[in-house]
Chain A
């Protein structure tokens, strides 16, 4: 057999296979090109990659289909990175929301360009250039106009209603796309027992809530769950039985079983049991070229060849 191969870490490539709408690269009317930007992910609070369309008028999120053992053939070249990137439109409000929530604690009306600021991710101010941003701020904040200036203050109530609408819209799409929302099927080889019509409205709501929660903070997700009047699921951890305590006793420790009896002369080994039909048929399988079970437990680490 071939020598064992060890994987070396993926090297940086300067090209990617991307699926994006035409509108992403439509830069004719714009003065700047679309660009990848790192912004704060509202759900994880860490950096995530997004894309701003030409002239920053539209926000896109970037997701990668990433599975082991994939590569691309691109024209006459091979690309080791087998990922498929999706650039899909995204509501910029999701990214603006955390900044508004933060400033909302001061309970003051503030100009939004003073709120959406981040030392770590300076590009976040560009979110306000998106056509949808300023026009839809009223979904999550109260507005006040003084002269020509607009001031905003975060509103939890408005936000909940807005998110609820998002969930409801997601439910419609989930139904239209026949997305399986029932209990988690863990293996792809499992056959789904329920037909689509058996799903309850609650399954759809819960699933949609989960999807929307990918775009909001955990606190907001919990609040939304309440707002949707969905009971929180108990986590499996809590249902686990308490760990067993060792029994304490004053008696001296004794062996539970006497193994020495097997050493006596009258102990005769039983003849091996007859194989069952299934075992017999398994024994007949062509095992040539197959690895013995023991090989899976060997701890040796193969060296990578250069």
Chain B
């Protein structure tokens, strides 16, 4: 697996893929989808698909792929090698969603939540397989959110393909297990060799599992909190763990889509009371009611100053 394309710019989303086995273009195939790194506050989330001809499912099963969570890192690496060796009939593709992508998606003005991001990534990968001529007949997915809704969504998007969405699909279907191994191996490698684009000067890489409840991760987050910038792009800013720390230890930053409510906020924003529209004598609340700055200046947000 060549992580080069992602490591070149690890602030974006990146797709890595194996060669498409020729047999997959001619024979009916099954495809499994799974993800790795959904929960951690550090590092990317990786989506993986694995596909092979339906007729050779048994061979995959015999290679003893299993749910990646039940395997040690060494076993996973081993199994990934095996999958790579089986390139005559097994293909894979990965979508690495950088922590920066996750942060900016979830924190943008029109919120794009993690489930939607996950669904769209999975859909993108299935479309990638179709676009490359893989003869898909069956798709197996480990669920994100309610399984039947997700299954409906995928079935509608890919008519003619038999979509099965199950919780714990990674332990039920070998092709999903294979996908989960690809995803997990990629995530482990990316996290281990994370290229910090920030100049942190000999960064301490002992950040533990990256999960919010890991004390090592918490300690690392405390250590690398910059009061102004918060965190390196390695951290998912949208995680409440990171947000809580930034809110308590960092400088307060105000955005114009911040949720502010209450009368004080209304007053600050110079909102008028609803009542003022109904009274006949409603005057403006300006300090100098006789003087109204010309719109040339107000339109351009230009003000006179009385002091610096």
A residues engaging B (CB < 8 A)?
Answer: 1-8, 16, 36, 38, 41, 43-44, 46-49, 61-69, 78, 85-86, 179, 184, 207, 210-211, 213-214, 218, 240, 242-243, 286, 288-291, 295-302, 305
> A243 — which chain B residues lie within 8 A by C-beta?
280
The answer to whether A65 and B302 touch across the interface, beta carbons within 8 angstroms, is yes
Q: Is the CB of B306 within 8 A of A48?
A: yes
Separation of A44 and B297 alpha carbons in the complex (Å): 15
Question: A214 near B306 (CB under 8 angstroms)?
Answer: no
- Is B63 an interface residue when CB atoms closer than 8 A count as contact? no
Determine the residue in chain B with the shortest Cβ distance to A41.
B304
Known: A48-B305, A289-B111. 6 other contacts (CB 8 A): A2-B240, A7-B254, A63-B302, A67-B301, A298-B262, A301-B262
What is the bound-complex CA distance between A295 and B261, given in angstroms? 8
- Chain A residues, CB < 8 A from B262: 298-302
Picked from A49, A179, A290, the residue with its CB within 8 Å of the CB of B304 is A49
Known: A65-B302, A213-B294. A289 touches B113 (CB 8 A): yes
Q: Is the CB of B304 within 8 A of A48?
A: yes
Dominant SS among interface residues on chain B: loop
Question: When chains A and B are docked, how far (Å) is the Cα of A179 from the Cα of B247?
Answer: 43
Q: At the interface, is chain A mostly helix, strand, loop or mixed?
A: loop
Assess the A214–B294 pair: CB atoms within 8 A: yes
Docked Cα-Cα span, A254 to B116, in Å, equals 57
The bracket for how many chain B residues form the interface is 35 or more
Q: Do B294 and A66 have beta carbons less than 8 Å apart?
A: no
Contacts of A211 in B (CB 8 A): 294, 296
Distance in angstroms from B290 CB to nearest chain A CB is 6
Whether B303 and A66, one on each chain, are in contact in the complex, defined by CB atoms closer than 8 angstroms, is yes
A288 to B290, CA, bound (A): 47
B256 touching A288, Cβ below 8 Å: no
Residue in A closest to B290 when the chains form the complex, CB atoms: A218
Q: Name the residue among B300, B304, B306 with the largest chain A CB count within 10 angstroms.
A: B304
Nearest 8 Cβ contacts at the A-B interface: A49-B305, A69-B256, A210-B294, A47-B306, A63-B302, A67-B301, A2-B243, A48-B304
Residue pair B306, A46 in contact (C-beta under 8 Å) = yes
Shortest CB distance A65–B (Å): 5
